[in-house]
Amino acid sequence: MERVEDIRTELGSRDWEAMTAHEAIVWGHERFGGQMVFASSFSLEDVALIDMACAAGIKPRVFYLDTGVLFPETYELIGRIAERYGIAPERVLPQLTLDEQAQVHGEKLWLREPDRCCGIRKVQPLRRYLAGQDAWVTGIHRDQSPTRAGAPRVTYDEGFSLVKLNPIVDWTTEDVHSYIAERGVPYNPMHDQGYPSIGCMPCTRAVRPGEDPRSGRWAGFQKTECGLHGR
């Protein structure tokens, strides 16, 4: 990665809001090549981005944070996506196994200190992984939550010191669903069972009618983000 000042100048010279999701992905690929990686929890948004990249003739480098407590449906979907698109998602692991974490921090840390648990099993592994990359792509969009309402399409991520692309940042949830349906993209069946956002098993529940889409994450805590995209 060249000087941060040069990157900021380049990013500031473009009208990212006028760019489509497809154009943002193509630009990122042309600009960063294999040093651009796609972060994936295999949500609807993430599988849509994988499909979009492949449709553009790009073989995306996809990685996922395997906390050890993902839903069986998530692991099954990873295999389906890998086979469908001919890719090999990179599995990023925490330094501590679940047993080691329990020995150091006590059993079921997520029930007592979810921020610390997310830090160990998600944020720290992500930081180590991204240290070797130039850009990362995420599936966040502004209508997901108030904390994401001001997200830009492309920015310099100060927290992880690289460029961050949010190609579908201006899409609505309905836009995402329409894309998945029109393209026949494989997705997690839990989305049809009241789970708009799917994370780790202990910290994810179905959302009741009328609730915020992210209320099923870390229920009972004043927490809606794991720390990867802010709080």
pLDDT at position 129: 97
Q: How far apart are CA 45 and CA 176, in angstroms?
A: 6
Compute the distance between CA of residue 64 and CA of residue 57 in angstroms, rounded to an integer. 22
The one-letter amino acid code at 103 reads: Q
pLDDT value for 231: 39
How far lies 137's CA from each of 29, 42, 76, in Å?
10, 13, 22
CA distances 190 to 85, 110, 143, 204, 208, Å, are: 21, 22, 20, 11, 14
Catalytic: 54? no
DSSP letters of 145-200? -GGGTT--SEEEETTTTEEEE-TTTT--HHHHHHHHHHHT----GGGGGT-SS--B
In this structure, are residues 191 and 198 in contact, taking their beta carbons and an 8 Å threshold?
Answer: yes
CA distances to 21, 22, 88 from 55, rounded to whole Å, are: 12, 9, 17
Cβ contacts of 222 within 8 Å, gap of 6 or more: none
pLDDT in single tens digits along all 231 residues of the chain: 567 888 888 999 899 999 999 999 999 999 999 999 999 999 999 999 999 999 999 999 999 999 999 999 999 999 999 999 999 999 999 999 999 999 999 999 999 999 999 999 999 999 999 998 999 999 999 887 787 888 999 999 999 999 999 999 999 999 999 999 999 999 999 999 999 889 999 999 888 877 777 677 666 555 454 445 443
Of 118, 200, 203, 226, which is the active-site residue?
226
How confident is the model at residue 148, as a pLDDT? Answer: 80
Q: How many helices and strands, by DSSP H and E, does the chain display?
A: 9, 6
- 26: its two tokens: 């193509």
Q: b/e string for 105-122 if b means 16 or more Cβ within 10 A?
A: eeeebbeeebbebbbbbb
Phi, psi of 138 (to 5 degrees): -130, 165
| Domains along the chain with CATH numbers | 4-203 (3.40.50.620)
The DSSP code sequence of 185-208 is ----GGGGGT-SS--BGGGB-PPP
Q: What is the pLDDT of residue 1?
A: 59
pLDDT of residue 92: 98
pLDDT for 55: 97
What is the rounded end-to-end Cα distance, in angstroms, of the chain? Answer: 27
